[in-house]
Structure 1
């Protein structure tokens, strides 16, 4: 049973998490095969207050830190990375309102989010410049399309970015998903992350008021305003690590309870096979290293976020560097562990009803979000010349 809205706290959410994880895990493999919109599972998260994790307490939210929030995201990613993805991207859209919004906009949009306890959709893909905002009749008109718009289906609000004409600069805005001229297309058919509703969204002469614009094309950027990109990368870090941890735990359970030793091993249990033990040691160390850097990166981002508008470029850069380091290791762990589990579990573990393949497929799909080579470039530049990452929408 869900808890009344006014009584949600971080403690009540943690108390409910085991049951939430169990319910998601019960159908995760089956839903992963089917794809489509997971309305029931999204409602489960909504009913337990998870949509309000990062909304500050002064607006009626939970007021969780990024470390606290993404620890929860990671737990959910172990059993259902698509639902973890949707929850994480909910927090990302709210971060845009918190960092870019005026006092009036924060009061309106965050207060409404708490009152309605609603989902946000992501239509802010910065790598997709096809959505154009043209000035008209004292406001703006949006025309074009955005791709990879996670969580748009079933959302109440959209955070979007568009190219302003004639300046050619980016603006960030909030719109109701149901506004006339907005169409969500059922065109998400990947090999993994099949229930993230990462569809395309088209805008056909959609009216946008200047009061709905969080960041104007003539707005001045600051180190703090560029932190949204760092938060987005920390989301990926925790999703990847959660996928790797989930794959490891499911393989471990299989090895201990269903695994068969190879005939030449001379042992009675798969868990006593020295080569299986060796593989688990390797996976364990990959996870340990990734987990340590992930937790360190969370602390850095929390500290930077608390500083707020007084954040310096160097402080911002150190947070971005910590996230880049963690992302490299979590990226590698998700792909490596997702593959290695089959070596320790054997041929019978490829049975479709087990769904072990979903961990690698989901990781492979999501780790293509942005090239890991550019994170290695940022880390390499720091290692060689102590140059901190330059702010971009992806670093």
Structure 2
């Protein structure tokens, strides 16, 4: 019987140097990526044990806040770090490389904290951005536009919310959370943000799904919750019936970066195991697993796929950043085309992630299947999130663009 080899001893989260405060991009544009790489490597050493113990990510979120990483995309003139979308994606890849649950939390933070600036192209949501930067707000997500379990009722100049929203990521640890709700008076949406401790909010810790087990996804209950007039997102586009322009293009890349990080994380873990603990297969004729030609072939194939995905992500990230920089003049067809390009990146990294992550055992052997190593978490984390959107419909839309030149912005949800 093979002797079980234990993984390296795992340090607690408090062993990480949490005293770093990141400088603005104009001072050191690469500092956020270096920090995320170090933090991600630390997370990797304890991700499996903390997942198995069901530890809530309160300490990790505190580090994201204390470092200023939550302010990454807020312009410097408003008190943020002033980084670009490509930098944010690199940060998410590095964090997800260590623990996709933490990467997903920051992914949803960036998605939701950016809603104000996407809607308000006239004033760039200056007042909101300044408040978020000064308070180092961590943002939660209560969206799911297809869900009609939550209703917004006008109440003077504000609204009252009643109902339930499932699969809400991050609000139970957030300072504020977005809320997207159907209005009960007109065919429009209420898109707003509220403090996470607002009276009438209920958080149910009911997430018991395949992956992203520490991403703090909860069911939200709303019992006559107040939304004040100043908490409604200002829209430069008139009545709100869908997501703001460029939201889909940016969001698709955020999600894709989590998948890519998980894929690289699986390769990191498998290669470290193969070097340190791997045993060559009987009859292989090699002294070390890392010299087995079949293992080298597989690893080379997996690594090439991941690097191709990374290059695709970088290319489209710059295209979307350029579109954001032109957000006051970009046309609707241009925005729609960027959305398709970003969806193609996400579809490609979904394919690569789901092909590579469950096959890392081919690089390690049977002993690596012990649950202490947790090599299955990389696949589980990708699989659970990619179930949100059917790839069949996504690829159909991409095909319509590639074949017929047809691209469409998000439909009305109202």
Q: Quick check: TM above 0.5?
A: yes
Query: Which residue is 1:192 aligned to?
Result: 211
Query: Which residue is 1:214 aligned to?
Result: 233
After superposition, the Cα gap between the structure-2 partners of 1:161 and 1:339, relative to the gap in structure 1 and judged at 3 Å, is: same
Moved more, 313-322 or 101-110: 101-110
Moved more, 48-57 or 317-326: 317-326
Partner Cα separation in structure 2 for residue 314 and residue 179 of structure 1 = 39
The one-character-per-residue Cα deviations of 1:12-68 (angstroms, maximum 9, x if unpaired) are: 434433432233223111112223421111112222111001111121101111111
Q: Is 1:31 the equivalent of 2:31?
A: no
The one-character-per-residue Cα deviations of 1:87-144 (angstroms, maximum 9, x if unpaired) are: 1111111110111248779233221211111211111222322111111334311111
Residue 262 of structure 1 is aligned with which of 248, 257, 281? 281
After superposition, the Cα gap between the structure-2 partners of 1:10 and 1:392, relative to the gap in structure 1 and judged at 3 Å, is: farther
Query: Which residue is 2:32 aligned to?
Result: 13
CA contact (8 A) 1:148 1:199 kept: yes
Query: Which residue is 1:371 aligned to?
Result: 390
Query: Which residue is 1:383 aligned to?
Result: 402
Post-superposition offset of 1:386: 1.9
How do 1:228-243 residues align onto structure 2 when only pairs under 5 Å count? Answer: 228-243=247-262
Q: Is 1:67 the equivalent of 2:92?
A: no
CA contact (8 A) 1:171 1:215 kept: no
Moved more, 367-376 or 97-106: 97-106
TM-score, length-scaled by structure 1: 0.93
Q: Is 1:350 the equivalent of 2:369?
A: yes
After superposition, the Cα gap between the structure-2 partners of 1:4 and 1:216, relative to the gap in structure 1 and judged at 3 Å, is: closer
Partner Cα separation in structure 1 for residue 63 and residue 239 of structure 2 = 40
SS of structure 2 residue aligned to 1:226? coil
Query: Which residue is 1:125 aligned to?
Result: 144
How do 1:284-303 residues align onto structure 2 when only pairs under 5 Å count? Answer: 284-303=303-322
CA contact (8 A) 1:174 1:214 kept: yes
- Structure 2: gaps (5+ residues): 1-17
After superposition, the Cα gap between the structure-2 partners of 1:17 and 1:232, relative to the gap in structure 1 and judged at 3 Å, is: closer
Post-superposition offset of 1:293: 1.4
- Structure 1: gaps (5+ residues): none
Query: Which residue is 2:13 aligned to?
Result: none
Q: Is 1:172 the equivalent of 2:217?
A: no
The one-character-per-residue Cα deviations of 1:328-369 (angstroms, maximum 9, x if unpaired) are: 110011111111101121111111111111111111111112
After superposition, the Cα gap between the structure-2 partners of 1:151 and 1:129, relative to the gap in structure 1 and judged at 3 Å, is: same
Residue 316 of structure 1 is aligned with which of 335, 341, 356? 335
Post-superposition offset of 1:258: 1.6
Residue 178 of structure 2 is aligned with which of 146, 151, 159? 159
TM-score, length-scaled by structure 2: 0.89
Q: More helix by proportion, 1 or 2?
A: 1
Moved over 6 A (4+): 5-8, 102-105, 221-224
SS of structure 2 residue aligned to 1:73? helix
Moved more, 366-375 or 87-96: 366-375
Post-superposition offset of 1:291: 1.5
How do 1:87-126 residues align onto structure 2 when only pairs under 5 Å count? Answer: 87-101=106-120, 106-126=125-145
Post-superposition offset of 1:318: 2.2
CA contact (8 A) 2:358 2:379 kept: yes
The count of aligned residue pairs is 394
Partner Cα separation in structure 2 for residue 66 and residue 194 of structure 1 = 26
Partner Cα separation in structure 2 for residue 103 and residue 314 of structure 1 = 21
SS of structure 1 residue aligned to 2:223? strand
CA contact (8 A) 2:160 2:227 kept: yes
CA contact (8 A) 2:140 2:174 kept: yes
SS of structure 2 residue aligned to 1:265? coil
